[in-house]
Amino acid sequence: MIHARIIGTGSYAPKKVITNHDLEKMVETSDQWIIERTGIKERRVCEKGETTSDLAHEAAKHALHAAGIAPADIDLIIVATLSPDTHMPSMACKLQARLGAKRAAAFDLYAACSGFLYGLSTADAFIRSGMHQTILVIGAEALSRYTDWEDRTTCVLFGDGAGAAVLQRHAGKRGILSTHLHSDGSFGDLLHIPAGGAAHPATHDTVERRQHYIKMKGNETFKVAVRALEDVVQEALDHNKVKPEDIDLLVPHQANLRIIQAMAKRLNMPMEKVALTIHKYGNTSAASIPMALDEAVRNGRVKENDLILLEAFGGGLTWASALIRW
Ligand SMILES: CC(C)(COP(=O)(O)OP(=O)(O)OC[C@H]1O[C@@H](n2cnc3c(N)ncnc32)[C@H](O)[C@@H]1OP(=O)(O)O)[C@@H](O)C(=O)NCCC(=O)NCCS
């Protein structure tokens, strides 16, 4: 049996911290409101001059080191992001050059907060098809650059960071057992950045109307998210004929602690079996799952043969799962 197996993970968060108390001085909000509604206490943001590719580069170096492979061994680089340094060249090509991954093909992937799982699924398919042997998948975001720091409904939620995983062809039972990907574009306006693309290129007007920032209808998104995540988790369990109690670790997208708790409750899973980083990083979109996974690996929470369930939900709308035998 051929599987794509994660042989190394890495992550990186910028050093600069913004606490809820810092935000109290910027918009009309409170530490208590943010903690009660989201579980977030602080988030990291890029320093001036620091970019998404800087974070991705650090995470990638850690993952390659953990995997014990050289940049020249990589066949393909996939970067999931909604906050690239530039729209051209891609982040993946920047990384290819910075790492010196001379043999690697490279492309970016847009699936918002589900991006890392879309990337993992794509890499899994390339490896199982025999097209590639070794793939670097990265989720990296500098959402602080797309955040309206005058909008209290969004600025308290997001943060910057990057996580990476090296996948390699493995003949055996360990590796990615399944991935399931979904989308519903009819809900696109629940979570979007209105301007900056071909529909509404940057003008003085789009800038003045603050149309280059993330807009979210949080409450409506919340309701769709819980329903979609319940379905996609059940789909993964049914597909693999596993029971919730068989899962050793849940690594959810870190958007809201209440959504994560609802999923844990649905799976009848104690919170000790859930990887949580939301309190210190906020919602880092495509980076949140690989950052949480890397932290769990480094803290020794992931053991050989453990069953790990990853699930995500985000703009698009998109949602996804992956089940991994570690
Ligand atoms: C964003 C989110 C935390 C808001 O929590 P909520 O309980 O839904 O809160 P609401 O949006 O209903 O707002 C409740 C009230 O708090 C206010 N409020 C919003 N942001 C606030 C803030 N930062 N500080 C204080 N009050 C705030 C609202 O204006 C509203 O006031 P009103 O009742 O007077 O109109 C929550 O909806 C959420 O996490 N949504 C899903 C996010 C997600 O999964 N995204 C997809 C992946 S990225």
Which residue has tokens 């979109």? 285
Cβ contacts of 182 within 8 Å, gap of 6 or more: 228, 232, 318, 319, 320
Both 142 and 189 in a single domain? no
User: Is-contact 52 91, C-beta < 8 A?
Assistant: yes
Q: Is the CB of residue 282 below 6 angstroms from any atom belonging to ligand 1? A: no
Both 217 and 314 in a single domain? yes
Distance 219 CA to ligand 1 centre (A): 6
Both 105 and 189 in a single domain? no
Distance 147 CA to ligand 1 centre (A): 15
CA distance 56 to 139: 7
CA distance 30 to 120: 37
Mutate to test the pocket of ligand 1, among 141, 153, 230 (most ligand atoms within 8 A of CB): 153
List the residue whose alpha carbon is closest to atom 13 of ligand 1. 219
Q: Is the CB of residue 313 below 6 angstroms from any atom belonging to ligand 1? A: yes
How high is the pLDDT of residue 59? Answer: 98
Both 144 and 186 in a single domain? no
User: Is-contact 127 2, C-beta < 8 A?
Assistant: yes
CA distance 279 to 283: 9
Q: Is the CB of residue 218 below 6 angstroms from any atom belonging to ligand 1? A: yes
Both 202 and 317 in a single domain? yes
CA distance 43 to 263: 23
* Residue 36 one-letter amino acid: E
What's the pLDDT tens digit per position in 166-217? 999 999 999 999 999 999 999 999 999 999 999 999 999 999 999 999 999 9
Using the predicted structure, report yes or no on whether residue 1 has a pLDDT greater than 90.
no
Using the predicted structure, report yes or no on whether residue 29 has a pLDDT greater than 90.
yes
Both 130 and 155 in a single domain? yes
Q: Is the CB of residue 257 below 6 angstroms from any atom belonging to ligand 1? A: no
Q: Is the CB of residue 319 below 6 angstroms from any atom belonging to ligand 1? A: no
Lowest average pLDDT, out of 34-38, 78-82, 212-216, 223-227, goes to 223-227
Q: Is the CB of residue 149 below 6 angstroms from any atom belonging to ligand 1? A: no
Mutate to test the pocket of ligand 1, among 22, 32, 37 (most ligand atoms within 8 A of CB): 37
User: Is-contact 64 9, C-beta < 8 A?
Assistant: no
Both 69 and 149 in a single domain? yes
List the residue whose alpha carbon is closest to atom 4 of ligand 1. 218
Burial (Cβ within 10 Å: 0-12, 13-18, ≥19) of residue 304: exposed
Q: Is the CB of residue 152 below 6 angstroms from any atom belonging to ligand 1? A: yes
How high is the pLDDT of residue 157? Answer: 98
What total number of domains does the chain contain?
2
Both 9 and 43 in a single domain? yes
User: Is-contact 190 217, C-beta < 8 A?
Assistant: yes
CA 53 to chain centroid? 15
Both 81 and 118 in a single domain? yes
Mean pLDDT of 8-13: 98
Distance 245 CA to ligand 1 centre (A): 32
Domain boundary, last residue among 172, 199, 220 = 172
CA distance 302 to 174: 13
User: Is-contact 61 10, C-beta < 8 A?
Assistant: yes
CA distance 282 to 215: 16
Both 11 and 151 in a single domain? yes
User: Is-contact 170 196, C-beta < 8 A?
Assistant: no
Print the domain residue range for 305: 177-325
CA distance 210 to 155: 13
* pTM higher than the cut 0.85: yes
Domain at 33, CATH number: 3.40.47.10
Q: Is 232 left (phi over 0), alpha (psi -120 to 50) or beta?
A: alpha
Distance 269 CA to ligand 1 centre (A): 26
What's the pLDDT tens digit per position in 254-307? 999 999 999 999 889 999 999 999 999 999 999 999 999 999 999 999 999 999
Domain boundary, last residue among 127, 144, 172 = 172
How high is the pLDDT of residue 66? Answer: 98
